[in-house]
Structure 1
Amino acid sequence: MANPSAEHELNATVEHDAGGHGGEHVEPVAFGFVGPGAWVSLAMLVFIGILVWKGVPKLITGGLDAKIAAIREQLDEAKKLRAEAEALRGEYAAKIANAEKDAAAMIEHAKTESEAIVAKAEADAKAVIGRRERMAEDKIAGAERAAVDEVRAKAALAATEAARGLIAAKHDADADRKLVDEAISSL
């Protein structure tokens, strides 16, 4: 057991006679004026200052800006693909109109063949447009998922590094010794 007088000093309380009132609770303060709330505020300001000093916000915004630029490029590419698909659709529509004019001049057998060609051309045009739109939508969705996953990974890494730094700063040999002693005593 430790020194009894030191133990008595740790357990001592201050009692004040405040006009018939019972003992008053006194908040612990450092240097006579700084309370625990001020220490927590100071620690948070230091932590935020370290994050800003290390450039964490710039890293996050830089990564987001790069992803936004990449997604913009993909959206522009998708717009070009859509314009090409619309041009192709217009081209097929023009071919359909010409095929109908030629079918009117031909005999009945040629007329049925031209109608089959027109129907196939319409189906092909719709299929090509549908495939290109699906490809563009899939590409955009994949890019969005990749951007979100990358931002989440960067945020998790930043939080892990910050927690590691805080734990390393707060955890010393005495704390390790206490944890080992507690683990041994619990066995």
Structure 2
Amino acid sequence: MRLTFSALIAGLVASPAFAAGDVFFSLNNTDFIVLLAFILFIGVLFYFKVPSLLSGMLDNRAEGIKSELDEARALREEAQTLLASYERKQQEVKDQADRIVTAAKAEATEAADQARADLEKSIERRLAAAEEQIGSAQAAAVKEVRDQAIVIAVAAAKEVIAKKMTAAEGNALIASAIADVDSKLH
């Protein structure tokens, strides 16, 4: 501090006001009064340690800014990590949704194929049942026609036999039929 004060005084002594030759150290000289006030002001600043206070405040402010920058950097890194995490989760959810859609399509296709196969089996069963009913109805119709034909043939034969046959021939025919049945049963 003494070195700077000495340098200041030496700088003032070598000023152009000294070179002019007028009396500089007079209280009537305004330049001298301003110089004294300035030196006094600088002295008061140094006495109350204002430069060190200012540099301390600037250092504190610089440290505060540095800590805010570090905090901002840490928050940025945390935000980037969080963003990456959310992007990863979003991709996982998208992949899961794609798998669900694919599985649903596969299940729908499988269900449609199964329904088609069940429908074909049902149609085959119904066709078989219908054919069976038709065959049964046809067999019943054939049996009914045969039965009717037998009834008509028996009636016609009875009538023809009744007209051409005598009582003795009828008794002989009945005995022959009984014997024939008896031989077939035993």
TM range (shorter): 0.3 to 0.5
* Bigger CA radius of gyration: 2
How high is the TM-score relative to the length of structure 1? 0.38
Taking structure 2 as the reference length, the TM-score comes to 0.38
Name which structure has the greater RCO, CA cutoff 8 Å, separation 6+: 1
Higher helix share: 2
